[in-house]
């Protein structure tokens, strides 16, 4: 059984697993929707899902950062070396940063390109960037390239979590698992 290690608070764990759910569905949707030969209705549905959930991810990441500033994460167990703690910190901040880059560049690509974001349009939120093909193309390139380091960090993060949860069983994984007090 894993040793008792102080867990993240419930709101932090909820926001973490919602981010997982949304990111894990947004990345494949983004990759599939730009493929040639898709039926129009499928492509439209994927675009609508991708754009609107992408905005939800942006809001969620900002909320997580604000919550984290008010409630710093519990310390990692002393069994981790300073190097491991440092790599974990760099991975976490890298993921936050790249999620923000992906979400903001996606937003700018769509708004500067003059396209709708259905949920924001329904709420009457106006575009926050001007219509500009040059801006849209720059944002498109950033959106295309930033996914590679993001996916790399996600794989490192999942690998480390699995290593702690399955091999080491040192309580690090269960800090973020739902249902811990």
Total number of residues that touch ligand HEM (CB under 6 A)? 24
Q: In the complex with ligand HEM, which residue's Cβ is closer, 73 or 127?
A: 127
117 within 8 A of 52, measured Cβ to Cβ: yes
In the bound state with ligand HEM, the residue whose beta carbon lies nearer, of 123 and 166, is 123
Nearer to ligand HEM, 9 or 16 (CB): 16
Tokens of 12: 């932090």
Q: How many helices (H) and strands (E) does the chain have?
A: 5, 0
As a whole number of angstroms, the distance between CA 138 and CA 67 comes to 31
Quick check: 15 and 60 in contact, CB under 8 A? yes
Binding mask 162-181 for ligand HEM (x = CB under 6 A): --------------------
Residues 130, 113: Cα–Cα separation, whole Å: 9
34 binds ligand HEM (CB under 6 A): yes
CB of 131 to ligand HEM, least distance (A): 15
**Residue 15 binds ligand HEM, judged by CB under 6 A:** no
| Distance of alpha carbon 91 from alpha carbon 150, whole angstroms | 10
What whole-number distance in Å separates Cα of residue 111 and Cα of residue 105? Answer: 10
Residue in 135, 146, 116 with CA at minimum distance from that of residue 23: 146
When binding is defined by CB under 6 A, the residue of 50, 64, 164, 175 that contacts ligand HEM is 50
Is 31 near ligand HEM (CB under 6 A)? yes
Q: How far is the CB of 170 from ligand HEM (least distance, A)?
A: 30
Binding site for ligand HEM (CB under 6 A): 23, 26-27, 30-31, 34, 50-51, 54-55, 57-58, 99, 102-103, 106-107, 109-110, 117, 140, 143-144, 147
């Amino acid at each position: 059984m894993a040793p008792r290690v102080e867990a993240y608070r419930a709101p932090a764990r909820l926001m973490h697993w919602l981010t997982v759910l949304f990111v894990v569905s947004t990345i494949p949707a983004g990759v599939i929707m730009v493929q040639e030969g898709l039926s129009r209705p499928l492509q439209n549905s994927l675009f609508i899902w991708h754009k609107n959930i992408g905005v939800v991810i942006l809001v969620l990441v900002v909320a997580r950062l604000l919550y984290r500033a008010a409630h710093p994460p519990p310390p990692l167990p002393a069994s981790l070396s300073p190097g491991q703690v440092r790599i974990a910190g760099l991975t976490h901040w890298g993921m936050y940063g790249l999620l923000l880059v992906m979400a903001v560049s996606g937003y700018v690509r769509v708004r500067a390109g003059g396209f709708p974001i259905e949920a924001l349009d329904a709420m009457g939120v106006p575009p926050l960037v001007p219509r500009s093909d040059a801006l849209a193309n720059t944002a498109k390139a950033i959106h295309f390239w930033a996914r590679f380091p993001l996916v790399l960090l996600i794989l490192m993060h999942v690998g480390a979590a699995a290593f702690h949860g399955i091999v080491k069983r040192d309580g690090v994984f269960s800090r973020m698992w739902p249902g811990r007090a």
